[in-house]
Amino acid sequence: MPQQKALVWFRRDLRDHDHAALSAALASGNAVYCCFVFDTRILDALPTKHDRRVHFIHGSLLELDAALRRSGGGLIVRHGQASEEIPRLASELGVSAVFANRDYEPAAKERDGEVAAKLAAQGIAFHDFKDQAIFDGNEILTQATRPFSVFTPYKNAWKKRLTATAWAAHPCNGRLAGNELAGVPELGAIGFAATDLTELGIVAGMSGARGLWDDFRAKRINRYGALRDFPAIKGVSYLSVHLRFGTISIRELIRAAVADEADAWLGELIWRDFYFMILDHYPHVASRAFKPEYDAIAWDHWPEGFAAWCAGRTGYPLVDAAMRQLMHSGWMHNRLRMVTASFLTKDLGIDWRLGERHFADQLNDFDLSANNGGWQWAASSGCDAQPYFRIFNPVTQSEKFDREGRFIRRYVPELAKLPDKYIHAPWRMSQAEQEALGVVIGRDYPLPVIDHARAREKTLARYAVVRRPAFP
């Protein structure tokens, strides 16, 4: 009797080790093939053909294909709608089952449902596995057996459930089935072009992840809590894009965080699971407020203000530096994601969904669950969100987290000559001082697009429609 065949469908898990679906397929005794689909449903919606994420994925696929070939196989890459390409490839290969790791985004769940139905019609099984999260589904629930909506009790329950079994690696030993279909097409063949990843120092694939992880663990993991809020300091891991595309395993990071007693770092990884859980259980957050009453907020229609924010021309140096960092690199420091989101929603009074969409277009590490969670946190519309009356002051945030203006000077070079006392609010300089420094506000750098104090009062009034008393 001929050996049965299986197909492993790689998505946001671009590695050949500690991979739940690959491990299960290899353990099944089937001849195992591997594939990836450049899904046109996703690619066709991208705003540019010079997308760093597509370039990153492509580089990661080249490395993955090479690794799979060392195990006797290779990566079959298709370009089209995954809901059509996977059933077609499964039929061509004559497999009895398709193995994939779960995705929690609404569109991905719908896609997987379509694929599973088409495969079933062909007599082919579809198996999905938990891989990008430590806990998912109903594994972490309240005592009332409901999903959590507040982070701290979720974190406590998550930690209580955590055992070595949860972070154990999935072995991926065994030989893969070779075939002539394997190979990664050139970027141009799918309609995209190379970007500036190399110039930015971004290394795709498992090797890129390994280099960043080894550096972070050796030098900063135990100082993460003290360093993470200062954008001019190398304090974070820079692993977000690798976690997003699965070139490193979350289980390896959790094991290390526990072993190193790196509680602050562990907490950030738990936030990741928390936002996966929220999106999985409450898919309405993808387009509406987690708290329905916040959909009643009347946002301002201010295209000019939004354009100034996007371009880093608001007149608030820390906000502008952060937005220019995003444009330059496709990445933004987490403290600054909070500052810029607060500024858009609570200073400019602009709908959080516009900011969320801009970040989705720009961020190399864009992940719907975390991006949506962060924006709804800033807008006070999400689960366990920043209270509506807590409004970041962009000047005091700048003074606290970029005291010497090192980050500002890097990304807003027109302000480089300013002394520290003016770098955070340059409009406070006298006209004579501006002339002497060669930085005239309103000519060389914008005047503030809005007065923060007045904006704060307007925001408090705006949120009055959903205001709740602080105490019962």
Distance from C-alpha of 443 to C-alpha of 455, rounded to nearest angstrom? 24
Q: Domain residue spans in the chain?
A: 5-131, 132-167+205-281, 292-466
pLDDT greater than 80 at residue 97: yes
Q: Provide mean pLDDT across the span 255-277.
A: 97
Q: Which of 63, 85, 268, 356 is catalytic?
A: 268
Q: Provide mean pLDDT across the span 222-235.
A: 97
pTM: 0.96
CATH architecture of 292-466: Orthogonal Bundle (1.10)
Q: How do residues 316-371 score in pLDDT, each as one tens digit? A: 999 999 999 999 999 999 999 999 999 999 999 999 999 999 999 999 999 999 99
Residue 385's pLDDT is 75
Q: How do residues 124-178 score in pLDDT, each as one tens digit? A: 999 999 999 999 999 999 999 999 999 999 999 999 999 999 999 999 999 999 9
Q: 132-167+205-281: which CATH topology?
A: 1.25.40
Q: Which of 5, 31, 15 is nearest to 174 (CA)?
A: 31
Q: Which of 30, 352, 356, 364 is catalytic?
A: 352
For residue 268, indicate whether it is catalytic: yes
For residue 158, indicate whether it is catalytic: no
Instruction: Provide φ and ψ at 455, rounded to 5°.
Output: -65, -35
Which pairs from 354-362 meet CB under 8 Å and 24+ separation?
Answer: 354/306, 355/309, 358/310, 359/326, 359/332, 361/46, 361/47, 362/326, 362/327, 362/330
For residue 334, indicate whether it is catalytic: yes
CATH code for the domain defined by 5-131: 3.40.50.620
Q: Which of 139, 271, 302, 393 is catalytic?
A: 271
Q: Helices marked H in 330-388 — which ranges?
A: 334-342, 352-362, 368-378
For residue 167, indicate whether it is catalytic: no
Q: Which of 139, 222, 334, 393 is catalytic?
A: 334
pLDDT greater than 80 at residue 8: yes
- The three-class DSSP label of residue 128 is strand
81 within 8 A of 35, measured Cβ to Cβ: no
What average pLDDT is seen over the chain?
Answer: 96
For residue 9, indicate whether it is catalytic: no
Domains 5-131 and 292-466 share a fold: no
